[in-house]
Amino acid sequence: MPRFKNPGELRIVSSCDLCNYDASFNLAKLYFEQNKLELALDYVQNSILKNTRSSRAYNLQGVILSKIARYPEAIKSFQSALGIVPNDIITNVNLGIAYINNKEFNKARLLLEKILPLVQDQTLKEKVNEYINLIKERLLLTP
């Protein structure tokens, strides 16, 4: 259940239906954008309790967990999202980045190379290529 650090936050929530997936998810996004990561995590976890088939909630949870350096948990969250929508490009890229941050370079490289041909957005395609090249350089330097 969400925890509150000041009365203003309590007023916002008191007018919100906490049993509602959309309200919890939207509050999670709002708090994430404000860099209030613990609150964002609480709300996204509440939204997942309300809708266990929401790939976007699992993805957001993974992004939040990555941002607070809880990479193994982030990986599990991205994998849950991909269990629902396996070909989601953004979630696959997020999982690849979480693998990198968790120093699982081979897993990251295999995943990013697999999805690279599916990426339509040129800017994202270039970024994925950069990640792949960084991983290859990293693997060459690792004894």
Contacts made by residues 41-44, CB under 8 angstroms, sequence distance 24+: 41/65, 41/68, 42/1, 42/2, 42/3, 43/2
Q: Tens digit of pLDDT for each residue in 85-94?
A: 999 999 999 9
pLDDT of residue 139: 81
State the pLDDT at residue 11.
Answer: 44
* CATH number given to 75-143: 1.25.40
**Predicted TM-score of the model (pTM):** 0.85
Which sequence spans correspond to the domains of the chain?
A: 1-52, 75-143
Q: What's the rounded Cα separation, in Å, for the pair 4 and 117?
A: 44
Q: Band of the pLDDT at 6, cuts 50, 70, 90? A: low
